[in-house]
C-alpha cells in the first residue's frame, strides 16, 4: 500500500468572497449598513481613547458620519471622524478573512479586567471608571500599573463591605451564602490579606446549632469556660458526621463542634488555622486535648497501663496498616476509631484526593498511611479482647477480631475499604456463627477464601473460621 500524502486546501479568494457575498448578502443594499457599522466602530474607538487622552479630539471634537452621494459618478462616499487605519491595519484587517480589528480592540480594552478582581470574586459584575488608568493594549503593562493595584484593593474592600451589609439580614444572607459560599471559602485559600475578614462571613452547622447556620464569631461567644480551641469535623455530609464516633467525648463534655461538610472546607481550613486567637482543631486528628480533672488523669493512666499489652498485640496483627495503637478517651461508646496525624490527610481529604484524576500517587501513599488506632478501654468488646489476648496472644480468634474491628473502624471513621468483599464475607461468617449455621455449603464457600493466617489449628475456636 502506497504511503498516504497530505495536501492543504487551496482557495481562489476572489471566487470565495464572491460566493460568500452572494450567499449571505442577498440584498445589495446591505453593503451600506456594513460600511456605516465600520464607521461607527471607528467612532467608538476614538471615544474610548479620548477618555484618557483628550488630545485625540483636538483635531475634530465632533463625532460624525457623513454619507455623500455622487449621481454623476454613481458613487457613495462615507466619511467619519473616528480612528482610521494605517497601511498595516488595512492589510491585516481587510486583507485577512475572518479577522476583526474591532474585536481585537475590544480585547485590548478588556486586557487586565481579570486582574482587577480576585478569582474568588468572579461572580461580582460591574464597571470600573477611572480617569487615571491609561489605555494600553499591553496586559503586562497594565498588570504592573500601581493604579490598577489600588483599584483591585479597593474593589475587594467594597465587596467585603457589601457582604457584611447583606449579612445584617439573616434571611438574605442565607440565600447569598447558599449561592456563593464556595467562593468565600476559595477566598480563604487564596486571599491571605483578607482571610480574617472572609472568615467572619463563613457559616456552618454545628452540634448545637440545629438546622441553623452559625458563624465562627458566634461559636467563640458560646465557648465553654477554659476552652482554648475551636473544634470541627470534616466529612461528606452533615448526616455522615453528626453521629461520628469522634464526637462522642466532645459531646459528653459539652463542647460544640462545627460540621464542615463541603469539599472545599478541607482546603480552606488548611489555610485558616485560627480565628480570633483560637486554634482550629480537627476532631479526627491527633493532638485533641480536652480539659481533665486529676481523677480522670489518674484513671486514664491506669487504663493505659492495663491495656498496654493489647495495644502491642493489635499493632503486631495490623502491622503497617496503622502507625501505632494507643489507649484513648476520644470515644465513649465505640470500641475504637482511626485518627490521622496532625499534618496528614483526614479521612474526608483522603476520599477527595482519591477522586482526583491527576493526583500525585506517591504523595497520596505517604499522607494517607499515617493512621493511629485509638481503642476505648471502657468498651466491653475491647475488655474481652484484652482478656483473650492475655490468655493467649497467638489465639487465632484474637487476630480475626482485631482485623474485623480495624475494618469497622475504617468505615465509622470515614475511610474506605480496599477490599469490601473480604469484609463482607467476614461479616457473613460472623452471622453464621451467631445463628449456629454449620452446613457443608458454607464450609465449601469458606474454603475459596485465602486464610488470614498460615497456621491452621483444627482445635481452635469457631472464630478461626472468620478470616
Can you give the pLDDT at residue 307? 93
What's the CA gap between 314 and 318, in Å, rounded?
Answer: 6
210: left (phi over 0), alpha (psi -120 to 50) or beta: left
What's the CA gap between 360 and 366, in Å, rounded?
Answer: 10
The neighbour count for residue 5, using CB atoms within 10 Å, is 5
Residues whose CB is less than 8 angstroms from the CB of residue 237 and which lie 6 or more positions away in sequence, other chains included: 261
Residue 309 included in any domain: yes
**Number of domains into which the chain is organized:** 4
Domain end position, chosen among 152, 177, 201: 201
274: left (phi over 0), alpha (psi -120 to 50) or beta: beta
Are 48 and 10 in contact by the 8 Å Cβ rule? The answer is: no
Cβ neighbourhood burial of 313 (10 Å; 0-12, 13-18, 19+) = buried
463 by DSSP, 3-state: which?
A: helix
User: What's the CATH number where 123 sits?
Assistant: 3.30.230.80
User: What's the CATH number where 81 sits?
Assistant: 3.30.565.10
Can you give the pLDDT at residue 263? 86
> Beta-strand (E) ranges in 56-163?
65-70, 75-80
Residue 264 included in any domain: yes
Residue of 366, 373, 326, 322 lying closest to 344 (CA atoms): 366
Can you give the pLDDT at residue 459? 42
- CA distances to 23, 35, 185, 316 from 28, rounded to whole Å, are 11, 13, 57, 90
Alpha helices per DSSP H over 262-379: 265-272, 294-306, 308-318, 347-354, 361-367
Can you give the pLDDT at residue 404? 92
Claim to verify: residue 181 and residue 300 sit in the same structural domain: no
Claim to verify: residue 431 and residue 302 sit in the same structural domain: yes
- Cell representation of residue 22: 452572494
Q: Could you state, in chain order, the average pLDDT of each consecutive group of 10 residues for the chain (467 residues)?
A: 66 68 66 83 84 80 90 90 76 59 60 73 84 56 67 91 95 95 94 94 93 94 91 91 91 93 89 92 86 85 92 92 89 91 80 71 59 92 92 84 92 87 85 75 50 45 44
Residue 259 included in any domain: yes
Q: Is the dihedral of CA 127, 133, 137, 143 positive or negative?
A: negative
Are 261 and 181 in contact by the 8 Å Cβ rule? The answer is: no
DSSP 424-437: HHHHHHHHHHHTT-
Claim to verify: residue 229 and residue 271 sit in the same structural domain: yes
Residue 218 included in any domain: yes
Residue 467 included in any domain: no
Residue of 123, 125, 194, 116 lying closest to 160 (CA atoms): 194
189 by DSSP, 3-state: which?
A: helix
Are 195 and 232 in contact by the 8 Å Cβ rule? The answer is: no
- Cell 493467649 belongs to 392
What's the CA gap between 234 and 345, in Å, rounded?
Answer: 11
Claim to verify: residue 179 and residue 214 sit in the same structural domain: no
Find out whether 330 is annotated in a ligand binding site.
no
Residue 254 included in any domain: yes
Q: Which structural domain range is residue 43 located in?
A: 13-99
Claim to verify: residue 419 and residue 313 sit in the same structural domain: yes
Domain end position, chosen among 201, 236, 253: 201
3-state helix, strand and coil shares in percent for the chain, rounded to the nearest 5: 50, 10, 40
Claim to verify: residue 279 and residue 301 sit in the same structural domain: no
Claim to verify: residue 39 and residue 141 sit in the same structural domain: no
Q: How do beta strands 274-275 and 257-260 pair?
A: unpaired
Alpha helices per DSSP H over 307-360: 308-318, 347-354
pLDDT digits (tens, 9 = 90+) for 108-122: 555 555 667 888 998
Claim to verify: residue 193 and residue 239 sit in the same structural domain: no
Can you give the pLDDT at residue 186? 94
pTM of the predicted model as reported, rounded to 2 decimal places: 0.67
Claim to verify: residue 176 and residue 226 sit in the same structural domain: no
Residue 106 included in any domain: no
Can you give the pLDDT at residue 465? 44
Instruction: Name residue 230's beta-bridge partners.
Output: 280
Claim to verify: residue 336 and residue 261 sit in the same structural domain: no
Query: ∠ CA 162-165-169 to the nearest 5 degrees?
Result: 135
Residue of 397, 385, 421, 369 lying closest to 310 (CA atoms): 385
Claim to verify: residue 43 and residue 120 sit in the same structural domain: no
Residue 464 included in any domain: no
Claim to verify: residue 306 and residue 424 sit in the same structural domain: yes
User: What's the CATH number where 331 sits?
Assistant: 1.20.120.790
- Cell representation of residue 150: 489600588
Alpha helices per DSSP H over 7-129: 13-24, 30-50, 87-89, 101-110
User: What's the CATH number where 228 sits?
Assistant: 3.40.50.11260
Amino acid at each position: 500500500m502506497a504511503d498516504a500524502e497530505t495536501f492543504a486546501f487551496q482557495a481562489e479568494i476572489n471566487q470565495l468572497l464572491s460566493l460568500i457575498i452572494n450567499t449571505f448578502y442577498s440584498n445589495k443594499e446591505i453593503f451600506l449598513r456594513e460600511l456605516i457599522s465600520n464607521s461607527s466602530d471607528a467612532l467608538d474607538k476614538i471615544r474610548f481613547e479620548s477618555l484618557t487622552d483628550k488630545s485625540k479630539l483636538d483635531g475634530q471634537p465632533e463625532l460624525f458620519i457623513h454619507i455623500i452621494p455622487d449621481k454623476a459618478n454613481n458613487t457613495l462616499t462615507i466619511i467619519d471622524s473616528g480612528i482610521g487605519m494605517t497601511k498595516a491595519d488595512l492589510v491585516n484587517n481587510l486583507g485577512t478573512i475572518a479577522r476583526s480589528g474591532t474585536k481585537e480592540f475590544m480585547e485590548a480594552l478588556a486586557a487586565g479586567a481579570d486582574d482587577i478582581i480576585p478569582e474568588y470574586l468572579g461572580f461580582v459584575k460591574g464597571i470600573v471608571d477611572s480617569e487615571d488608568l491609561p489605555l494600553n493594549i499591553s496586559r503586562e503593562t497594565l498588570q504592573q500599573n500601581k493604579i490598577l493595584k489600588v483599584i483591585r484593593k479597593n474593589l475587594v474592600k467594597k465587596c467585603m463591605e457589601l457582604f457584611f451589609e447583606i449579612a445584617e439580614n439573616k434571611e438574605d444572607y442565607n440565600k447569598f451564602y447558599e449561592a456563593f459560599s464556595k467562593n468565600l471559602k476559595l477566598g480563604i485559600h487564596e486571599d491571605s490579606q483578607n482571610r480574617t475578614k472572609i472568615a467572619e462571613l463563613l457559616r456552618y452547622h454545628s452540634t448545637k446549632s440545629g438546622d441553623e447556620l452559625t458563624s465562627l464569631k458566634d461559636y467563640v461567644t458560646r465557648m465553654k469556660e477554659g476552652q482554648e480551641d475551636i473544634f470541627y469535623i470534616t466529612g461528606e455530609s452533615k448526616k455522615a458526621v453528626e453521629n461520628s464516633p469522634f464526637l462522642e467525648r466532645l459531646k459528653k463534655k459539652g463542647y460544640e463542634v462545627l460540621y464542615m461538610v463541603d469539599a472545599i472546607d478541607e482546603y480552606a481550613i488548611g489555610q485558616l488555622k485560627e480565628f480570633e486567637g483560637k486554634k482550629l482543631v480537627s476532631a479526627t486528628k491527633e493532638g485533641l486535648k480536652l480539659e481533665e480533672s486529676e481523677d480522670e488523669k489518674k484513671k486514664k493512666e491506669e487504663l493505659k497501663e492495663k491495656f498496654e499489652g493489647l495495644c502491642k498485640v493489635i499493632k503486631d496483627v495490623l502491622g503497617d496498616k496503622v502507625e501505632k495503637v494507643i489507649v484513648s478517651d476520644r470515644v465513649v461508646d465505640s470500641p475504637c476509631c482511626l485518627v490521622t496525624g496532625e499534618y496528614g490527610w483526614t479521612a474526608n481529604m483522603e476520599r477527595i484526593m482519591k477522586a482526583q484524576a491527576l493526583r500525585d500517587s506517591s504523595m497520596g501513599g505517604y499522607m494517607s498511611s499515617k493512621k493511629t488506632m485509638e481503642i476505648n478501654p471502657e468498651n466491653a468488646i475491647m475488655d474481652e479482647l484484652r482478656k483473650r489476648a492475655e490468655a493467649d496472644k497467638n489465639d487465632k480468634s484474637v487476630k480475626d477480631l482485631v482485623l474485623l474491628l480495624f475494618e469497622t473502624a475504617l468505615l465509622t471513621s470515614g475511610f474506605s475499604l480496599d477490599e469490601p468483599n473480604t469484609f463482607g464475607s467476614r461479616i457473613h461468617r460472623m452471622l453464621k456463627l451467631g445463628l449456629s449455621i454449620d452446613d457443608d455449603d458454607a464450609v465449601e464457600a469458606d474454603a475459596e477464601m485465602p486464610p488470614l493466617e498460615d497456621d491452621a489449628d483444627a482445635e481452635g475456636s469457631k472464630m478461626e473460621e472468620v478470616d
